[in-house]
Chain A
């Protein structure tokens, strides 16, 4: 690349603007139609990751889960063909209740309530109240198998029998589910991890995530306005919004799980894209002050050409490590890597065609950038 030759970036302003608009429309459309497939962190619910000794048959596992009384159970392969992630919208205890009912039915009994164990009940965690059967019938029917519930203590109160159980319904049911999967698939099953997030936590994280993004944008706008000029801060923030919408839209379009680590990645995209934009702006400011003649478009083109090498190489090295992270980092980190890969590409593009372009739309001029000269001038005039 020769320093003489200036690439006419701004000549492609209109097509680029059109491209941005198309990408934004697709992203927003995907968000509106598909919605964001929020991960467990945000929706609340329960999930378990299990590994099978043999390649897992997902349709078969789905079939098993659908008979379990879980709320919208989902089973997907996670990383390899023996790892399966099972998720349910509600708590694991939903499945536990259904399993209990199916064992109670032959006895003509029913589950009345699930309470916390009273305070002075030692190591018991929950109290299950049954009606329609006495304790010996419940024991004989093996309604609360010890291998799931731990030790159980029955008490009769009026017509109801209450049972204090050592393991709560969700813990007991997780163990039961593994056994069911083992029995029906004929493969050995090992629990890799289990997670439960209460619905209120999910909602709070959603709010905090959104708030964090807004705060980040506001602080960036202030910083850029202070370091550069108001028009620059509008450009920077527009570029960031552009990037965030496209990355989030990408996740909606391809229905990739959006969880807490992806949110972190999106915020990191804000950091990266801003980094790019600032470097470009720095050059534009410098050139506006240095180049005596030349229209704004020429100044911007020169600046973009001068920073192009750096922009490309930094994007390249960053993409290199991100692709390695995507390839080798495992399933837990893949969403994070995808968000950043998309974000770095879009961020590189937006530092040219959104941030710099906005300056054109806002009619940036030399006067906007002249350093305040008052003090300097006064000093000069002094005898």
Chain B
């Protein structure tokens, strides 16, 4: 009996091993610490002169940097270490002024040929890189209460118009109470309102108290859920935009569960600044352009694209009423445009204001509360950074009203698709749909992150080294097979994680270490079985064959159950635990391949063709 593999199996194993090797290489190139310079608006292009100004300022400050490159929209300067990078950012920002955004970033140093075939290093989690982690809870209840208050106001208006007299309106969470003097008035009111508020459940069951008859209108479960989803979605969008402003590389902003949002900012150390930006408020105002003969006291002058724009002081509506804004192309003219959706109250207000003002221009005013750092000399003669708050108001759009506008309208005549999407973004970011609270906050210092990587790698090296040594001593030649398989397994695990873009965390490293210990299990099972067969008097060739065959079922069962646990771990875990589950699952899958097919191929290659094999070194 001979143990031989068909050629394609050998080829498959070699190809997989080589791929594993290639795609784990990028992890050997640590990313550079860079600062990224970009214009604060899309009209500013980055060219050689900007880069030169940045270089000069760094030279002057005596900060080492080693490469500079630029494209149309951004420039990069590379630094030797994180400290130089931090200082460099300060210096360059001062030199370039507020027109440019200078952000900390990390640039991959992966060789081009690797990038070309899709190679990239593993992402490092916050615990390995340092940074801040926030968990925010969206307060949907207060958003619902606010909406119901608006609805109550609208109901009052409607009843007044319909000449139905009411006593009072109260709002308690999602429930509106309407109070009336008589049952007839109340029923009349309910039948008048019901049609307009289809997402509310009207009820007149509450008994009258002190001669006051009441109806209750409760926002339906479905509508509440919808609001919850919308609020979460809008807050996510808003947060993403704000986080981008922080100039952090690879920020994570994602929802968790029904009403939570995770924000992770790698590399950021100043929680206070991050919290300010995340929690900051920006607002929008829609105002009509002032008539040429309007009184000075009723107007205000702003700048719009370098020209003065005079707007009325009266505000048509604020950004709170914008529920959505999207950039698109006008299907007829193929010109960029922005479609805006308002809430119903906003639509009414907009309609009132525009229907008698067709042909006039309407401006969109963007109001931002910002902080700048001023360098001042304090009493001791030292330079200190003093934060100063200021409000920045700018007209971001001025367009002619072409008809009475309602809940949905669009702004056309924009310069480019990019300008359109920027405007849409600003419109959307006007306000958070619901207030948010910080429910979790973690900061990991960069030194701790670097230390964690070292500790992880050290324990991996020692663990792997000892297992390799043990297997070699205990199983001799077969130990060599198992060790080659184990080494390839680690490479595969690393390359699969790199390719999947999985994030490596400290528990993730622990998962890799654990995988190393457990991956040899399959080989131990096989080798123990082969030894047993030999003892029972089987010939070496048939011992190899039946050893692999018989152990296979056990290996499969054992690994599937472990995989089940890993999947459950992934499903219930959060953050670092997920990282552990991911490495554990991938490790199980890759180890099955290397430990069963890989070692079998080696065994076959070495022993498989020897007809008169007498002894196995096992």
Contact = CB atoms under 8 A, between A and B. Distances in A.
B518 A223 contact: no
Given A205-B574, A264-B569, A340 B514 contact: yes
A177 interface: no
B507 A264 contact: yes
A128 to B, nearest CB: 16
Contact of A125 (B275, B507, B569, B580): B275
B271 interface: yes
B342 interface: no
A122 B388 CA distance: 11
Contacts of B517: 317-322
B612 interface: no
B127 A264 contact: no
Contact of A321 (B272, B466, B580): B466
B117 interface: no
A191 B561 contact: no
Interface string B250-286: 0000000000000000000001100110011101000
Contacts of B451: 330
Contacts of A190: 445
Given A122-B280, A212-B572, A337-B510, A282 B557 contact: yes
Contact of B389 (A122, A223, A275): A122
B579 to A, nearest CB: 9
Contact of B561 (A171, A194, A208, A223): A223
A133 to B, nearest CB: 24
Nearest to B457: A328
B455 A220 contact: no
Nearest to A196: B441
Contact of B568 (A151, A215, A319): A215
Contact of B455 (A166, A171, A330): A330
Contacts of A286: 550
A278 B561 contact: yes
Contact of A330 (B272, B452, B470): B452
Contact of B470 (A278, A279, A316, A332): A316
A324 B510 CA distance: 10
Contacts of A336: 507, 510
A201 B135 contact: yes
Nearest to A306: B532
Contact of B459 (A192, A195, A274, A324): A324
Contacts of A215: 568, 572
Q: Please indicate which of the listed interface residues A194, A307, A321, A324 has the most CB atoms of chain B within 10 Å of its own CB.
A: A321
Interface in A196-231: 196-198, 200-201, 205, 208-209, 211-212, 215-216, 219-220, 223-224, 227
Nearest to A175: B272
B439 interface: yes
Given A321-B517, A325-B513, A332-B127, A261 B528 contact: no
Interface in B428-456: 435, 438-445, 447-448, 451-452, 455-456
A310 interface: yes
Given A122-B369, A215-B568, A279 B447 contact: no
A123 B524 contact: no
B468 to A, nearest CB: 10
A337 B514 CA distance: 10
B436 to A, nearest CB: 10
A325 B462 CA distance: 9
A201 B439 contact: yes
Interface in A278-332: 278-279, 282-283, 286, 306-307, 309-310, 313-314, 316-322, 324-325, 327-330, 332
A333 interface: yes
Contacts of B467: 317, 320-321
A260 interface: yes
Given A318-B518, A327-B459, A3 B389 contact: no
Nearest to B387: A151
Q: Please indicate which of the listed interface residues A119, A171, A216, A324 has the most CB atoms of chain B within 10 Å of its own CB.
A: A324
B516 interface: yes
Q: Is the interface of B mostly helix, strand, loop or mixed?
A: helix
Interface residues on B, range: 35 or more
Contacts of B464: 321
B506 interface: yes
B387 A271 contact: no
A321 B513 contact: yes
Given A209-B572, A279-B525, A333-B506, A268 B565 contact: yes
Contact of A49 (B448, B459, B559): B448
B68 interface: no
A202 B577 CA distance: 15
B581 interface: yes
A150 interface: yes
A171 B271 contact: yes
B441 A314 contact: no
Contacts of A188: none
Nearest to A198: B439
Contacts of A224: 561
Contacts of A116: 435
A337 B511 CA distance: 11
Contacts of B443: 191, 193-195
A192 B442 CA distance: 11
Contact of B558 (A279, A316, A325, A333): A279
B616 to A, nearest CB: 16
A167 interface: yes
A267 interface: yes
A98 to B, nearest CB: 20
A2 B535 CA distance: 8
B388 to A, nearest CB: 8
Nearest to A281: B557
Contacts of A102: none
Contact of A260 (B370, B528, B536, B576): B576
A195 to B, nearest CB: 4
Given A3-B535, A3-B536, A216-B565, A320 B572 contact: no
Nearest to A205: B574
B525 to A, nearest CB: 5
Contacts of A275: 518, 521, 558-559, 561-562
Interface in A113-163: 116, 119-123, 125, 150-151
A270 interface: yes
Interface in B3-25: none
A191 B446 CA distance: 10
A141 B118 CA distance: 61
Contacts of A350: none
A166 B281 contact: no
B440 A166 contact: no
A325 B572 contact: no
A27 B584 CA distance: 28
Given A193-B442, A321-B463, 19 more contacts: A120-B283, A121-B281, A122-B280, A123-B369, A166-B387, A168-B275, A192-B444, A193-B444, A197-B440, A205-B574, A260-B577, A264-B569, A264-B577, A272-B562, A279-B525, A307-B528, A310-B521, A329-B455, A329-B456
Q: Which 4 A-B pairs have the closest CB atoms?
A: A122-B369, A321-B463, A321-B517, A212-B572
14 contacts: A3-B535, A121-B281, A121-B369, A122-B281, A223-B561, A261-B507, A261-B576, A271-B565, A307-B528, A317-B517, A320-B466, A324-B513, A325-B513, A329-B455
Interface of A: 2-3, 49, 116, 119-123, 125, 150-151, 166-168, 171, 190-198, 200-201, 205, 208-209, 211-212, 215-216, 219-220, 223-224, 227, 260-261, 263-264, 267-268, 270-272, 274-276, 278-279, 282-283, 286, 306-307, 309-310, 313-314, 316-322, 324-325, 327-330, 332-333, 336-337, 340
